[in-house]
Amino acid sequence: TDPYERCTIWASEYGHEKVVQTLLDRGADFNAQGGLYGNALQAASEGGHEKVVQLLRDKKL
């Protein structure tokens, strides 16, 4: 289990780019499932947070 899972999804949902970056730098699983939107990328997309979406997409590549 990813200890950062809920934090990553929450930060993505609310567009907290710096928090998401910090969590990813610490090894957060950006693909972890949970919450209303499924995963961090889906949460950021639903919230319209383009910078966070791009950050997560770049990490995925």
Q: How far apart are CA 58 and CA 61, in angstroms?
A: 5
In eight-state DSSP terms, residue 39 is: S
Domain locations in the chain as residue ranges = 5-60
Rounded alpha-carbon distances, angstroms, from residue 22 to 1, 4, 26, 36, 45: 18, 10, 6, 22, 19
Give the tens place of pLDDT for each residue, 17-26: 999 999 999 9
| pLDDT tens by residue, 2-43 | 788 899 999 999 999 999 999 999 999 888 888 788 899 999
**5-60 domain in CATH 1.10.10.10?**
no
Q: How far apart are CA 38 and CA 18, in angstroms?
A: 21
pTM for this structure? Answer: 0.88
Q: Whats the size of the chain, residue-wise? A: 61
